[in-house]
Structure 1
Amino acid sequence: MTSEAITVLGLGNLGRALAEAFLRGGHSVTVWNRSAAKASELAVGGAVVAPTVVEAVASADLVVVAVLDHAAAREVLRGADVRGRALVNVTSGTPEEAREMARWAAEQGAEYLHGAVYAVPQTIGTAESSINYSGSSAVHTRWREVLELLGKVTFHGDDAGRASGFDVAILSAMYGLLGGFLHAAALARSSGIEVAELTPPLLSWLADLRPALVTFAGEIDSGSYAAGESSLAMNQTGLGMLLRATRAQGVPFAALESVKELVDRQVAEGHGTDSLARAVESFEAFRRFAVRE
């Protein structure tokens, strides 16, 4: 790989790790951060510290943005001349925010690639790091080898919002799982069970659920729920028992009540014998109502 000039805007934990990975890869790296003190150690490691965003952007053809949120990314880039540059934005945001940034970049004469990072900063640049991208296929093709210094690269097409679409869905599942774990821990403690004692069988059970999730995914994509072995009616009964138990133990959980409401809706519409996966259609009903509003 030949040495390339790269700029990194934002030196929080993620931005710093990105800059360090590029430096390890032998590239010329310019960095900028609102608080210049964060750049001092990177300067010792060989990075050039730019006093302004304008100068930082002007120093490289590839500009990587890693700041707090969408508003911060827009503010940081405002006033910089990004014409002819490849903008890779790994700042977390919604799909529509990514598309808005792509439109803005196009208006400025730049190519835009949006990234969603699946790694903690300490693992950037290792086999444990992966980043989903979508947006400019030209940027993906031209800079893929450089971006692979950060972690596994997966390109999801020309829609700049698609990587964020994956991201918000995956993060929703993650926080749902974490919320479920914390609730399970509270339930265990209320029964005198150590959480460390609960965790091994819980992890084993969650691993056993993987085939069911694959089956559910197929049912949802096809819209065919009639052959489901885990019926809505059966799960409605199970959720009812679980809600009674959580209330009796003094640790109710609104998320469980919300899941039961999704199931109840489908059962009330006459789908009790269908697969539990059909509960996703309750979300679709909510979405269609929101669009009409």
Structure 2
Amino acid sequence: MHTETSTKTPVTLLGLGDMGTALARAWLAAGHPLTVWNRTPGKADPLVRDGARAAASAAEAVASAAGPVVLCLLDDASVGETLDGADLTGKDVVNLTTGTPAQARRRAGWAAERGARFLDGGIMAVPPMIGQPESGGYVFYSGDPDLLARHREVLEAVAGVEFVGADPGHAALYDVALLSAMTGMFAGITHAFALVGGEKELDLARFAGLLTEWLAAMAPAGQEMAAPLAGGDHTEGVTSNLAMMAAANDTFLATAREQAVDPGLLVPYMELMRRRVAQGHGDEGLSGLVPLLASQPAPATWQGNR
């Protein structure tokens, strides 16, 4: 059973991958009239049976849109390809496609040139969390604040809303920054399990519980790092300084050798500590690594930058 739709804002959704389908189902459950389009038309069939309307083309979907046009596609290039030929004049475009800050800023300018209003979004959730307020999932939004205010009810039907500013690139920046921190945490977890995994008598379930508790106890370090970064004094309130931590790295590396574990996930971070200490900043905390890291150009071998 779906909620009464007569007073609900209609939504047009382009892209029915796992996340797009989750968004579609959440909007249908909330009673929003929904038009969908996907490059592979058959993906729309289950949603049509549940009340959605399938458009024959992306251009047709956009032309008939009376509410926000939401994009949840593979990448930024897919956005341009999908909307090529569509008349965006007067349309409200909400881009939930994962991309970079620069891509979001360019896409905002691209949309404005075509007469559209634009919001960019970064989804901080996995598909099962969509439409489930208790899950804690939310979406970062940046761009036109008036557009967000106009469609807040629609957007809150699928996940929490976190507006991070008028700069269209900030949602993507927040998104990737948080996911980068998560990636670093996963790297540490991977290394930890590699260290203990070869011990036949070790209870991995018990170790996992201890690991989870330890990481939760360390989480406030993220909040504590903000103040010295804002103030510029990386020695204020330091309890474990870089010199001490850099010295302890020798033990970490020796243990990895003993356990026959590749330390490659940790070495770059350890190298940052070593360099900062060598520059005479051993009395700083970990926040002192941020300006050092931020001053380094990206290696030419990186293929992720476009």
Query: Which TM class, normalised by the smaller chain length?
Result: over 0.9
Amino acid at match of 2:34: V
The CA distance in 2 between the partners of 1:224 and 1:142, in whole Å, is 42
* Secondary structure of the corresponding residue to residue 190 of structure 1: coil
Per mean C-alpha deviation after superposition, the further-off stretch among 189-198 and 80-89 is 189-198
> C-alpha separation between the residues in 1 aligned to 2:249 and 2:199?
19
TM-score, normalised with respect to structure 1: 0.95
Matched residue type, 2:117? E
Q: Deviations over 1:28-63 (max 9, x none)?
A: 111000001100000000100011011111111310
Identity of aligned residues (%): 42
Output aligned runs, 1:159-178, within 5 Å.
159-178=167-186
> Which segments of structure 1 move beyond 4 Å, counting only runs of 4 or more?
287-290
Q: Which stretches in structure 1 are left out of the alignment for 5+ residues?
A: none
Match of 1:188 in 2: 196
Q: 1:251 aligns with which of 257, 261, 281?
A: 261
Which segment drifts farther, 108-117 or 236-245? Answer: 236-245
Q: Which residue in 1 is equivalent to 2:25?
A: 20
Match of 2:218 in 1: 209
Give the alignment's Cα RMSD to 1 decimal. 1.6
Alpha carbons 1:243, 1:252 under 8 Å: kept: no
2:249 is the alignment partner of 1:239: yes
Work out the CA distance in 1 between the residues paired with 2:86 and 2:56.
13
1:90 alignment partner in structure 2: 96
**Given that residues 93 and 164 in structure 1 are in contact (C-alpha distance below 8 angstroms), is that contact kept between their aligned partners in structure 2?**
yes
2:218 partner letter:
L
Q: Which has the higher helix share?
A: 1
Q: Please show how residues 71-220 of structure 1 align to structure 2 within 5 Å.
A: 71-127=77-133, 128=135, 129-192=137-200, 193-220=202-229
Check if 1:40 corresponds to 2:45.
yes
- Give, in angstroms, the shift of residue 288 of structure 1: 9.5
Quote the Cα distance in structure 1 between the aligned partners of 2:81 and 2:111: 13
Q: Decide whether the 8 Å contact of 2:11 with 2:32 is kept in 1.
A: yes
**How much has 1:195 moved relative to structure 2?**
2.7
Cα contact 2:143–2:165 (8 A) shared by 1: yes
8 Å CA contact 2:234–2:288 kept in 1: the answer is yes
Write the distance in 1 (CA, Å) between the matches of 2:284 and 2:154.
Answer: 48
Q: Structure 2 length normalisation: TM-score?
A: 0.91
The alignment partner of 1:115 has SS state of: strand
Aligned residues: 290
* TM-superposed deviation, 1:277: 2.0
How far apart are 1:7 and its partner, in Å? 0.6
